[in-house]
Amino acid sequence: SHNIYITRHGQSEYNAAGKLGGNPPLTEAGQEYARRLAKFAEENICKDDRGETRKARLWTSSLQRTILTAEHIQHPFVDDGWQQMSTRVYRNLDEIFAGEYEGLTYAEIEKLHGDEASLRKMDKIGYRYPRGESYFDIIARLDPLVQELESYEEAVLVVSHQAVLRVLYSYLVGNDRELAPKQEIPLHTVVKLSYDAYHDGACTETRFYLGP
Ligand code: G3H
């Protein structure tokens, strides 16, 4: 069987302030999640059912909140021949780009650009932020990554962001993509997706809330 683990970054300064986008660092709680995630990875992702160490892959986005969330995760990750722990940093895993609305809160968007806020409500998957992205744009930029993800034999831990993981999760479990923009992907939770080749690639899901 093949396991894919997905998690959002630990709580960021912008999460705490309710702001969109940016490249903020983690809060105290987010840093604590980073430490707990490292322990979880060591005990679960990097060990097989018999407790033997096994290799895995680690992917983050290019934003510091995912890189900081993964920073305590120990070896051994897959050796791709150029470094022991192959953390791959992908811009394709970056959060939905809110363009001109980066750094605003939803309340500010509502107040300053009410017409845009209602357009988004009517068509959340198709709505594109001014000079920014839509959920359809996320679907398009995840496409090449999904192909790579599915080709691996080792477990992969993907540390990314809410909107991106909504899309990735929905694809991996086979949900209708129209549901993706509202899919719940909570903070401080690892979602484990296991594929069983003997059951037609059927996927089982386990969620681990690590707090705090
Ligand atoms: O910061 C962006 C959020 O993760 C995306 O959430 O698509 O529900 O606005 P939303």
ipTM of the complex: 0.90
Look at residue 84 in the predicted model and tell me its pLDDT: 38
Helix (H) or strand (E) holding 36: helix 28-40
Q: How far is the CA of 162 from the centre of ligand 1 (A)?
A: 6
Residues of the chain where predicted confidence (pLDDT) is lower than 70: 1, 75-86, 197-201
CA-angle at 78, arms to 141 and 53, nearest 5°? 130
Q: How far is the CA of 163 from the centre of ligand 1 (A)?
A: 5
Look at residue 81 in the predicted model and tell me its pLDDT: 41
Per-residue DSSP letter, 90: E
Rounded to 10 degrees, the C-alpha dihedral 137/138/144/147 comes to -130
Q: What is this structure's pTM?
A: 0.93
| Structure tokens, 107 | 């309340």
Helix (H) or strand (E) holding 80: none
Look at residue 168 in the predicted model and tell me its pLDDT: 97
- Asked if residue 12 belongs to a known ligand binding site, the reply is yes
What is the DSSP pairing of strand 155-160 with strand 2-8? parallel
Q: How far apart are CA 142 and CA 100, in angstroms?
A: 23
- Asked if residue 131 belongs to a known ligand binding site, the reply is no
Look at residue 195 in the predicted model and tell me its pLDDT: 82
Contact 169, 114 (CB under 8 A): no
DSSP three-state, residue 189: strand
- Asked if residue 166 belongs to a known ligand binding site, the reply is no
Atom of ligand 1 nearest to the CA of 21: 1
Look at residue 85 in the predicted model and tell me its pLDDT: 45
Look at residue 171 in the predicted model and tell me its pLDDT: 94
Is 95 in the active site? yes
Burial class (CB in 10 A: 0-12, 13-18, 19+), 195: middle
Q: Is 163 in the pocket of ligand 1 (CB under 6 A)?
A: yes
Look at residue 153 in the predicted model and tell me its pLDDT: 82
Helix (H) or strand (E) holding 106: helix 106-112
Q: How far apart are CA 25 and CA 69, in angstroms?
A: 10
| Each residue's pLDDT tens digit, 16-59 | 999 999 999 999 999 999 999 999 998 898 887 788 877 788 99
Q: How far apart are CA 164 and CA 169, in angstroms?
A: 9
Look at residue 87 in the predicted model and tell me its pLDDT: 73
